[in-house]
Amino acid sequence: MSTLFSFSPRSPHNAFLPLTRQRLRQRRGGLLVRFSLASLDFLDSDPPLPPAVQTFWKWMTEEGVISSSTCPLKPAYVPEGLGLIARRDIAEDEIILRVPRRLWVNPDTVAASEIGYLCTDLKPWAQVSLFLTRERLRPNSSWRFYIDILPEKTNSTIYWSEEELAELKGTLLLRMTKEMKEYVKSEFLKIEQEIIRPNKELFPSSITLDDFYWAFGMIRSRAFSRLTGQLAMLPLVDFINHSSKITREDNAEEMNGPAGLFSWDLLFCLKSTIPVKEGEQVFIQYGLKKNNADLALYYGFVERNSARDAYTFTFSIPESDPYYGDKVEIAKENDLDETAYFDVFMDRPITQAMLQYLRVAAIQQTDAFLLEPVFKSSIWATVELPDQKLLEVGNLGERLDIAVRVRLGGKLVLQQIQLEFKERQLKLDAFEYYQERRFKELGLVGDIGEIYCQPKDSVPSV
Ligand SMILES: C[S@@+](CC[C@H](N)C(=O)[O-])C[C@H]1O[C@@H](n2cnc3c(N)ncnc32)[C@H](O)[C@@H]1O
């Protein structure tokens, strides 16, 4: 597999060269089938679109998914890579694409394929990853026109080199990336041993971990799952890019409808949630709840918007806790677990759920124990803002820019949390302790703290 980014050990910042159009053209070579492109004049573009994209568009036309006369969209080079441009004005909530189920790549597609019977015990993402990896290596794959338009990689941190990942030191994004890669690797090793090696006739080309990472990255950055209920890669729909200007997520619906000349099928329908003028790019919202670390991990970009700056705290109730069972039970009753994750966003208060979880976890411990991890000097020693300066200097390249913004976002949020906890610490004396409240409820403690040996109501008055 060729690589998009070249590295020079003497110049670490070369690792972060931006993805230029020239590079984009190189990555999507692919097969140019001799379709007549006469009816697809609207695909003319400067610079010209890669042959693989033209072939793919033609394929979609032949499949009856788009009509060159009525399709409101065309593919084009945009700052986000490839994207969809309006060929005419588009109205709010107008359906702009309909992709029939027979063209979705999902666990049903895998089940119906030659390797389907081998994949029944795999998780949906692993099934589709193995399928995509295999189809990519098969010269005569019936999915060739789709696979040829998929990029070789994105800027998702799962594709970053060790040198690039080193820029994320101290961030949760680094841990999330490493854990995710470890998880994918362990699934791959199992699949390799139990499925690929014993079935060489079905897997004639060798499949590497990097091939599997590629497929996983494509799924993470392009698959849809909300509507179909199961993960699905949706050719054509997955040309759509994200914009922070889009504030609605209800961009799709499913319906039965015509799917080609003589067929009827379930259709995945993509809508534009805002009106778009002819010539403008059509966008969707990839997830309002995602923070910048999520965006970097899944899609390989971040937003320059402090509302996405977040720090994800991971809290656990230790098994050694004498009240472990009770506490986990309370957590589960509140849709949490022995380990819980809480995003804290810039300029937004800490959520009640996080404070409640912490209180439960700390019952019968001191408040200092509760807060200690947050104030640990090893964390705070790094909480100054040299990254702000780096951003001001600018011209960092795409990946270093992502790393610096995620680091800085996390640090700013940690600083905000430190202030918030300090303020709470000052007010601690005025707070009622859990035990105190419980004792009051039981009548063992009075309003001003007087202690009774028996419930107050049963204390005889003298
Ligand atoms: C569903 S694909 C969209 C099509 C993609 N641009 C392409 O060239 O194939 C998602 C990928 O597009 C890119 N992308 C989408 N929205 C973006 C944005 N707002 N900023 C930067 N990159 C974006 C990222 O590489 C992301 O992983």
- Which of these, 224, 349, 217, lies nearest to 285 by C-alpha position? 224
| Å from CA of 203 to ligand 1 middle | 31
The whole-number average pLDDT for the span 175-198 is 96
Is 238 among the annotated ligand-binding positions?
yes
Integer Cα distance of 65 and 92 in angstroms = 21
Nearest protein CA to atom 26 of ligand 1, as residue: 299
> What is the average pLDDT value for the chain, to the nearest integer?
80
| Å from CA of 35 to ligand 1 middle | 28
Range scoring the smallest mean pLDDT among 70-74, 83-87, 238-242, 302-306: 302-306
The reply to whether ligand 1 has any atom less than 6 angstroms from the CB of 81 is yes
pLDDT of residue 259: 73
CA 245 to chain centroid? 18
Buried b vs exposed e over 48-87: b needs ≥16 C-beta within 10 Å? Answer: ebbbbbbbbbbbbbebebbebeebbbbbbbeeebbbbbbe
Asked whether the predicted pLDDT for residue 178 surpasses 70, the reply is yes
Which residue carries 């040198």 as its tokens?
163
The reply to whether ligand 1 has any atom less than 6 angstroms from the CB of 75 is no
The reply to whether ligand 1 has any atom less than 6 angstroms from the CB of 152 is no
The residue from 213, 286, 298, 311 that is catalytic is 286
- With a pLDDT cut of 90, the percent of the chain lying above it is 46
pLDDT of residue 307: 79
Task: Report whether 130 contacts 195 (CB < 8 A).
Answer: yes
Q: Which residues, 6 or more positions from 393, have their beta carbon under 8 angstroms from its beta carbon?
A: none
Q: Is 170 helix (H, G, I), strand (E, B) or coil?
A: coil
| Å from CA of 145 to ligand 1 middle | 19
Class of 105-233 in CATH: alpha beta
| Å from CA of 275 to ligand 1 middle | 21
Substitution candidate for ligand 1 out of 25, 224, 242, 245 with most atoms within 8 A of CB: 242
Integer Cα distance of 62 and 344 in angstroms = 48
Is 226 among the annotated ligand-binding positions?
yes
Substitution candidate for ligand 1 out of 301, 303, 305 with most atoms within 8 A of CB: 301
Substitution candidate for ligand 1 out of 56, 80, 286, 294 with most atoms within 8 A of CB: 80
123-165 pLDDT, tens per residue?
999 999 999 999 999 989 999 999 999 999 999 999 999 999 9
Q: Which atom of ligand 1 is nearest to the CA of 286?
A: 16
The reply to whether ligand 1 has any atom less than 6 angstroms from the CB of 148 is no
| Å from CA of 241 to ligand 1 middle | 5
Question: Band of the pLDDT at 167, cuts 50, 70, 90?
Answer: very high
Nearest protein CA to atom 27 of ligand 1, as residue: 299
Substitution candidate for ligand 1 out of 286, 298, 299 with most atoms within 8 A of CB: 299
286 catalytically annotated: yes
The reply to whether ligand 1 has any atom less than 6 angstroms from the CB of 416 is no
- Is cis: bond before 47, omega within 30 of 0? yes
The residue among 64 and 55 whose pLDDT is bigger is: 55
The whole-number average pLDDT for the span 75-99 is 95
Q: Which residues, 6 or more positions from 168, have their beta carbon under 8 angstroms from its beta carbon?
A: 157, 174, 177, 403, 406, 407
- With a pLDDT cut of 70, the percent of the chain lying above it is 76
Q: DSSP state, 196?
A: I
365-414 pLDDT, tens per residue?
554 343 344 433 332 233 234 666 667 766 677 877 888 788 788 878 88
Question: Band of the pLDDT at 270, cuts 50, 70, 90?
Answer: very high
Q: Is 96 helix (H, G, I), strand (E, B) or coil?
A: strand
429-462 pLDDT, tens per residue?
766 665 666 667 767 777 766 777 666 655 444 3
pLDDT of residue 226: 62
Integer Cα distance of 160 and 162 in angstroms = 7
Task: Give me the DSSP letters along 249-308.
Answer: ---EEEEEEE-SSS-EEEEEEEE-SS-B-TTSBPEE-S-TT--HHHHHHHTS---S-GGG
Is 299 among the annotated ligand-binding positions?
yes
Instruction: Kindly list the distances between the CA atom of residue 107 and the CA atoms of 115, 127, 222, 230, in Å, as whole numbers in the listed order.
Output: 11, 6, 15, 8
| Å from CA of 301 to ligand 1 middle | 8
The residue among 140 and 363 whose pLDDT is bigger is: 140
Task: Report whether 250 contacts 273 (CB < 8 A).
Answer: yes
- The segment with the largest mean pLDDT, out of 97-111, 301-315, 357-371, is 97-111
Integer Cα distance of 309 and 300 in angstroms = 15
Which residue carries 């807060």 as its tokens?
371
Is 300 among the annotated ligand-binding positions?
no
pLDDT of residue 389: 66
The whole-number average pLDDT for the span 265-281 is 95
pLDDT of residue 325: 79
pLDDT of residue 431: 65
pLDDT of residue 365: 55
The residue among 261 and 326 whose pLDDT is bigger is: 326
Q: Which atom of ligand 1 is nearest to the CA of 82?
A: 8
The reply to whether ligand 1 has any atom less than 6 angstroms from the CB of 80 is yes
The reply to whether ligand 1 has any atom less than 6 angstroms from the CB of 77 is no
The reply to whether ligand 1 has any atom less than 6 angstroms from the CB of 154 is yes
CATH superfamily of 304-438: Rubisco LSMT, substrate-binding domain (3.90.1420.10)
Is 77 among the annotated ligand-binding positions?
no
User: Which part of the chain is CATH 3.90.1410.10?
Assistant: 105-233
Integer Cα distance of 345 and 86 in angstroms = 34
pLDDT of residue 274: 97
| Å from CA of 219 to ligand 1 middle | 13
Is 341 among the annotated ligand-binding positions?
no
Distance in Å from the first CA to the final CA of the chain: 90
Which residue carries 């099928």 as its tokens?
265
What is the pTM (predicted TM-score) of this model?
Answer: 0.73
The whole-number average pLDDT for the span 193-204 is 94
